[in-house]
Structure 1
Amino acid sequence: MILNESFADNPMFVPVSRAEFEFQAKEMKWIMDPRISAVAEKDGTPAGAVIAIPDVNPMLKAMGSRLGLTAPWYLLKHRLKRRRAVIIFQGVKPEHQGRGLNPLLLAHVLGEMRRAGYDTAGGTWIADVNAASLRQAEKAGARPLHRLHLFGKTL
C-alpha cells in the first residue's frame, strides 16, 4: 500500500491495515471528485498517488455538523459551489522516490483542480523532518499555516 510504504519513516506514523483504510475511505465516495486525484503506475503496479477531496468544512458548518433530512440538499449545494480542495495524502513508494514522480503528480493534480474550477488547495501536515516534502510544498507556492509539535517522553 502506497500510504504505508511512503509514510514509514515519518514520526508517529502507524501503518494502516487494508480493512482500516477501506473503513475510513468508504464514506468518501459521497464527497470525492475523481478529477482531482491521481495514481501513477510503473509496470502495472501503483508507484505513487495524490488523493484530494473537496473541502467539506463549509458544508459541515452550514449543516451545523448534523446529519438530517436536509443533508442531501447541503451536499448538492456544496457540489455546485465548492472552490477549495484538500490534499489528504500524497506519497510515492520508496523505490520510486527522488525521481521527480511526486512533483509530477502534484503538478498534474493542481492543474486538474484549476480546470475543475477550484480556486485554492490546502494540505494536511508535513513532518518537520520530511525535508523533501516541505521543499516540494514550497516550490508549489504553498505557505505554511501552522507547525505541528510532537512530544515524547521515555518512561
Structure 2
Amino acid sequence: MLIRPIDTDICRDRRRFVMFPFSLYYQTPQWVPPILPEMALLFERAKHPFYQHSDAQFLIAESEGQVIGRLAVLHHRPYCDYHKENTAFFYYFESIDDPEVADRLFHAAEDWARNQGCDSIYGPRGFLRSNCSGQLVDGFDLMPAMGITYNLPYYERLITSAGFSKENDYLSGILAGEQRLPDSVHEIAERVKQRGNFWIKTFSSAREIESMIPAIESVHHDAFKDNPAYFPSTHVEFQMIVKDIIAIADPHLLKAVMKGDAIAGFIIAYPNICKALQKTRGSIYPLGWIDILREKKRTKVIDVNGVGLLQKYQGLGNNALLYVEIEKTLLERGAEKAEIIQVDERNYRSKSDMDTMGVTWNKVHRTFRKPIEA
C-alpha cells in the first residue's frame, strides 16, 4: 500500500481523488455525488479564495493500482487565529473498511500538519464555513441534505481507531409539512412585529439577493461570531458561499428579517436537489442543469441551512419571527418536510427553539480531534 500526496497539476491525480467515492458507494442508494465543478475548483490554487490565506494537501492510498482511500488536510489560518489554536483540519475522508488504510492516511496528514506548526488535527471541517461539519454517525438509512456528508457506518470506528476522540456533535432533523407552531408562538411574533418595527423581506430574483450581499455578510458574522466552531470568512469567500446558495436556491425561499430599512436577520432555505445530483452523477454540463432545474420545482423537501438574528435582537421573543416564517415557507411551497441542518449541540438556545417547533432529530454528524505528537 502506498500513501502519497496527489499532484494537483496532474489531471489524472485530481480525477483519482475526486472519483474514488463513486466506486465506494456504487451500491449505496443514500449517497449523493458532489457537484463536480465545485470539486474541480478546490485544486485551483490561483482561483479558490482559501489559498489566499491557507494551505492544504490531498492524499490518496493506493494498492495494486487502485485507490482505496483518500484524505485532505488543511491548515486554516483564519480559524487558528480566531480561536488562538494551532490546529489542522481534516476533510474528504473516504476509505475501504481497513483500519490500516485509515491509520496511514491520518499519519501522513499529521506529518504534514506538524510541518505546518500544528499541534492537533480536527475535523471533518472544510475549506469554507458553509461546508458540512463532521462525519455521519447516526442516520445512515436517510438521504442527506444538500451539501451534507453521507458516509458509511464504519467510518467512526476507523477514525477512533486512528486515535481520535469526539469533539462535538451537529444535529439535523425534520420539521413535517403538516406541523404547526403553537398559537402562542404566532402571537409572540405578531407582538414583536408591532413593538419593534420588524418586517419580512422576500426576494424575487438572484440579482436582488446579490445586491444585499454586503449587508447580509455583516449580519451573518454578528449572528454567529460567538458560536464555538465559528471562524470568519473573507469577503471573497462569503461572496462564493452566497453565490453557491443562489445557484441552487429558489429566491422566494430566502428571507430577510428587516428592522426599518436595515437587515436584522435571515433565513437561508433552498430546495433539496439531491435526487437530481444522483441522476447526473454530479455533472452540471452539458445537460445536468436541466435535471437540476426540474428537481428544484419538483422536490417536496426544503433544506434550512441558516437561521440567524443580530445578537442585540436575539431572545425577547424575536426568534419567534424566524420560526413563523419557516412555517410559512413550508406552507407556501407545499413542502412535505423541511430539514433543519447541523445545529451544534452546544447551541442550547437554538436546539431548544427547534424542539419547541417540533423538530424530530434524526441525524448526527460528529467532529473528532487528536493531539499531534511533537
Distance 1:6 1:28 in 2: 18
For residues 30-75 of structure 1, the C-alpha deviation after alignment (integer angstroms, 9 at most, x for no partner) is 3211222211122322111111011121111111112232213202
Identity %: 21
What residue in structure 1 maps to residue 363 of structure 2?
146
Query: When you count strand as a share of all residues, which structure comes out higher?
Result: 2
Is 1:29 the counterpart of 2:246? The answer is: yes
- Report if aligned partners of 2:273, 2:296 keep a CA contact under 8 Å in 1: no
Gaps of 5+ in 2: 1-217
Distance 2:310 2:324 in 1: 18
* Aligned partner letter, 2:362: L
- Find the structure with the greater CA-based Rg: 2
SS at match of 1:132: helix
For residues 7-35 of structure 1, the C-alpha deviation after alignment (integer angstroms, 9 at most, x for no partner) is 11212211123321111221333321122
Distance 1:108 1:134 in 2: 17
Match of 1:81 among 298, 309, 312: 298
Distance 1:149 1:11 in 2: 14
What residue in structure 2 maps to residue 133 of structure 1?
350
Distance 1:62 1:100 in 2: 43
What residue in structure 1 maps to residue 324 of structure 2?
107
Q: TM-score, normalised by structure 2?
A: 0.39
Distance 2:343 2:273 in 1: 21
**CA separation of 1:33 and 1:144: change in aligned 2, threshold 3 A:** same
Distance 1:24 1:69 in 2: 23
Distance 1:149 1:78 in 2: 30
What residue in structure 2 maps to residue 58 of structure 1?
275
- Report if aligned partners of 1:35, 1:113 keep a CA contact under 8 Å in 2: no
- Report if aligned partners of 1:38, 1:109 keep a CA contact under 8 Å in 2: no
Q: TM-score, normalised by structure 1?
A: 0.88
Distance 2:281 2:369 in 1: 36
- Report if aligned partners of 2:269, 2:306 keep a CA contact under 8 Å in 1: yes
Matched residues, number: 155
* Aligned partner letter, 2:310: K
Gaps of 5+ in 1: none
**Structure 1 residue 152: deviation in Å?**
4.4
Distance 2:329 2:366 in 1: 32
